[in-house]
């Protein structure tokens, strides 16, 4: 499909990291100076169950893939800007270092090895200084400094860190509001509005419609409800557990590095406001439900047809939702290992947060091949937040067909983000970084009971 030339109106569905940054980037492009831009989200901002809203997200250029490593490094240079009005200011970004480890001989080891090579190239140094190999568990424990650790091989990169995810999003929202170019609308899109194969906007839950010449769908893990993404992307639920700390513990642990084990997927991000988070970057849980066929296909055969897709289930759907027992036990075990002094501390809160997973872990940023006026900006695959300051610009480059100007290894991203013709039977993200086991279903795990200890 060809890019719109000077469209009169653009509707963006979803105000997470992908949608919000896209809206902001559009306001700065001459091609869209006279375009009416509408940003719709089903929740008032900040969306309480959006993936981009949380206490923290890891900001790292530590990728096994050189093209993501390079893009992440350029995002990170913006996170590092620390003035009060800049993205990384007022505590929105902390460069505490990252200890990236693996269990020798297990999945994740290769990811860490390749990541080490990439960040060494990026930092232009050969293994000393800000990046140091950790050859055994003792060296890992010393680098972590909590009396515990994880894995048995890895490295520390003192130039990685973490962001206060919600505050980062609020910063960007303020910038977007300041342009006076975007209409922010609260409402849930229930389907795409179409005429034949042309998409004309969206129908909302209250029956109203929002019409636009061009529609960008950035609804994260909910996208499968609006567009048939079977075999291309799916929602997977990830476990997070939180615990309260004393002031002294906050003071001490606030200075620890991020610790991420690529074999188990378990990670800890330094605490803020006396809350510590432990979570698992994993294959996750599927939540399969039967929904009306969402494709805007004009084919009569698809009318009335239902399909099964995994969609998020969050605390907005079920206030009592607590992570399944196996997920909590994984967090408990990791906590005992990573910070032994807190090993038995009760979790004060838990959450299931939803990835939009693709088979390769690549984003899905492209025109829909069959529907005019429809573009997708999704597929975050559990690693999209760090790109907040650069992803909107890249998305709009693809919209405008300007990705030819991307430089170096980042040129490869265009191919990685394309709508794939081939579908897989079942989407399981194999990017070499996932812990847990594939194939878990949320309801089945919940039926085994919750632990809540
Ligand atoms: C537990 C967890 C840990 C993560 N850790 C990291 C990390 O350390 N580093 C990192 O870089 N990334 C991380 N990620 C990934 C990152 O958070 C996501 O890739 C990124 O936030 C995705 O942004 P998004 O805009 O695609 O989705 P979202 O932020 O989920 O935004 C989608 C928006 O669409 C709205 N919406 C949905 N359906 C509709 C509808 N029908 N109508 C209107 N609005 C709708 C939702 O309310 C939501 O606000 C993590 C993700 C999770 C879940």
Give the 3-state secondary structure of residue 140. Answer: helix
Residue 284 per-residue DSSP state: -
The larger pLDDT score, comparing residue 369 to residue 452, is at: 369
Does residue 14 line the site of ligand 1, with CB under 6 A?
yes
**Mean pLDDT confidence for 416-431:** 95
The number of the ligand 1 atom at minimal distance from the alpha carbon of 20 is 25
How far apart (Å, rounded) are the C-alpha atoms in residues 14 and 389? 17
Mutation pick for ligand 1 pocket among 13, 15, 16 (CB with most ligand atoms within 8 Å): 16
The number of the ligand 1 atom at minimal distance from the alpha carbon of 387 is 11
From 351, 332, 334, 315, select the one nearest 101 (Cα to Cα). 334
How far apart (Å, rounded) are the C-alpha atoms in residues 17 and 168? 9
The number of the ligand 1 atom at minimal distance from the alpha carbon of 165 is 17
- Preceding omega of 46 cis (within 30 degrees of 0): yes
Residue spans of alpha helices (H) in 199-288: 247-253
Question: DSSP letters of 11-71?
Answer: EEE--SHHHHHHHHHHHT-GGGTT-EEEEEESSSSSPTT-TT-SS-EEE----SSHHHHHH
Domain ranges (residues) in the chain: 9-288+323-416
Residue 352 per-residue DSSP state: E
pLDDT tens-digit map of 392-415: 999 999 999 999 999 999 999 999
Q: Identify the CATH assignment for 9-288+323-416 out of 3.50.50.60, 3.40.50.300, 3.40.50.1780, 3.40.50.11540.
A: 3.50.50.60
What is the Å distance from ligand 1's center to 26 Cα?
A: 20
How far apart (Å, rounded) are the C-alpha atoms in residues 180 and 259? 40
Contact 245, 405 (CB under 8 A): no
Does residue 383 line the site of ligand 1, with CB under 6 A?
yes
391 Rama class: left (phi>0) / alpha (psi -120 to 50) / beta: alpha
What is the Å distance from ligand 1's center to 348 Cα?
A: 23
Does residue 242 line the site of ligand 1, with CB under 6 A?
no
What is the Å distance from ligand 1's center to 353 Cα?
A: 8
- Calculate helix-pair angle for 66-79, 388-400, nearest 10 degrees: 120
Q: Is the per-residue pLDDT at 87 higher than 80?
A: yes
How far apart (Å, rounded) are the C-alpha atoms in residues 309 and 396? 28
Residue spans of alpha helices (H) in 89-164: 109-123, 137-144
The number of the ligand 1 atom at minimal distance from the alpha carbon of 58 is 8
* φ and ψ of 106, to 5 deg: -115, 165
Non-local (6+) Cβ contacts of 153 within 8 A are 101, 102, 103, 104, 109, 112, 134, 135, 136, 140
> What is residue 295's predicted lDDT score, i.e. its pLDDT?
74
Ligand 1 atom 25: the closest Cα is on which residue? 16
**Mean pLDDT confidence for 419-431:** 95
Contact 211, 386 (CB under 8 A): no
From 332, 290, 329, 325, select the one nearest 307 (Cα to Cα). 290
Does residue 380 line the site of ligand 1, with CB under 6 A?
yes
**Mean pLDDT confidence for 373-388:** 98
Mutation pick for ligand 1 pocket among 168, 278, 385 (CB with most ligand atoms within 8 Å): 385
Residue spans of alpha helices (H) in 233-324: 247-253
The number of the ligand 1 atom at minimal distance from the alpha carbon of 53 is 29
What is the Å distance from ligand 1's center to 416 Cα?
A: 19
> What is residue 123's predicted lDDT score, i.e. its pLDDT?
84
The model's confidence at residue 128, banded by pLDDT at 50, 70 and 90, is very low
Edge-to-edge strands of the sheet including 57-59?
A: 57-59, 161-163, 93-94
pLDDT tens-digit map of 279-301: 999 999 999 999 999 874 555 55
**Across the chain, what does the average pLDDT equal?**
95
Ligand 1 atom 5: the closest Cα is on which residue? 57
> What is residue 59's predicted lDDT score, i.e. its pLDDT?
98
pLDDT tens-digit map of 160-217: 999 999 999 999 999 999 999 999 999 999 999 999 999 999 999 999 999 999 999 9
The number of the ligand 1 atom at minimal distance from the alpha carbon of 41 is 44
How far apart (Å, rounded) are the C-alpha atoms in residues 238 and 247? 28
Does residue 188 line the site of ligand 1, with CB under 6 A?
yes
């Amino acid at each position: 499909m060809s890019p719109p030339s000077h469209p009169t109106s653009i509707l963006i569905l979803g105000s997470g990291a992908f949608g919000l940054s896209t809206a902001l980037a559009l306001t700065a492009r001459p091609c869209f100076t006279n375009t009416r831009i509408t940003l719709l989200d089903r929740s008032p901002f900040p969306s309480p169950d959006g993936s981009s809203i949380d206490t923290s997200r890891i900001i790292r250029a530590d990728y096994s893939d050189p093209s993501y490593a390079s893009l992440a490094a350029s995002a990170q240079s913006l996170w590092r800007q620390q003035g009060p009005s800049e993205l990384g200011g007022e505590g929105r970004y902390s460069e505490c270092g990252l200890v990236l480890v693996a269990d020798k001989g297990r999945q994740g080891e290769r990811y860490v090895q390749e990541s080490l090579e990439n960040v060494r190239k990026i930092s232009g140094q050969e293994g000393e200084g800000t990046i140091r190999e950790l050859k055994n568990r003792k060296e890992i424990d010393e680098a972590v400094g909590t009396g515990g650790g994880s894995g048995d091989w890895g490295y520390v990169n003192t130039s990685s860190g973490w962001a206060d995810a919600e505050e980062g999003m609020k910063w960007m929202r303020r910038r977007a509001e300041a342009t006076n170019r975007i209409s922010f609308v609260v409402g849930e899109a229930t389907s795409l509005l179409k005429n034949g194969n042309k998409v004309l906007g969206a129908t909302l839950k209250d029956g109203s419609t929002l019409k636009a010449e061009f529609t960008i769908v950035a609804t994260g893990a909910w996208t499968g409800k609006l567009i048939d993404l079977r075999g291309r992307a799916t929602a997977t639920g990830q476990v997070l557990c939180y615990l309260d700390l004393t002031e002294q513990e906050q003071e001490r642990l606030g200075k620890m590095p991020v610790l991420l084990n690529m074999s188990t997927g378990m990670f800890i991000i330094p605490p803020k406001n006396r809350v510590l988070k432990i979570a698992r970057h994993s294959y996750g849980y599927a939540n399969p439900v039967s929904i009306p066929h969402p494709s805007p296909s004009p084919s009569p055969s698809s009318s009335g047809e239902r399909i099964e897709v995994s969609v998020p289930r969050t605390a907005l759907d079920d206030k009592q939702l607590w992570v399944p027992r196996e997920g909590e036990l994984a967090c408990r075990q990791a906590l005992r290992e990573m910070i032994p002094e807190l090993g038995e501390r009760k979790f004060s809160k838990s959450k299931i947060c939803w990835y939009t997973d693709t088979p390769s872990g690549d984003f899905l940023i492209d025109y829909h091949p069959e529907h005019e006026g429809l573009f997708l900006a999704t597929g975050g695959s559990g690693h999209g937040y760090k790109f907040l300051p650069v992803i909107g610009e890249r998305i709009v480059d693809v919209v405008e067909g300007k990705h030819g100007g991307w430089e170096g290894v980042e040129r490869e991203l265009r191919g990685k983000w394309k709508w794939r013709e081939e579908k897989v039977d079942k989407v399981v993200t194999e990017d070499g970084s996932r812990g847990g086991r594939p194939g878990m279903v949320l309801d089945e795990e919940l039926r085994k009971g919750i632990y809540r200890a």
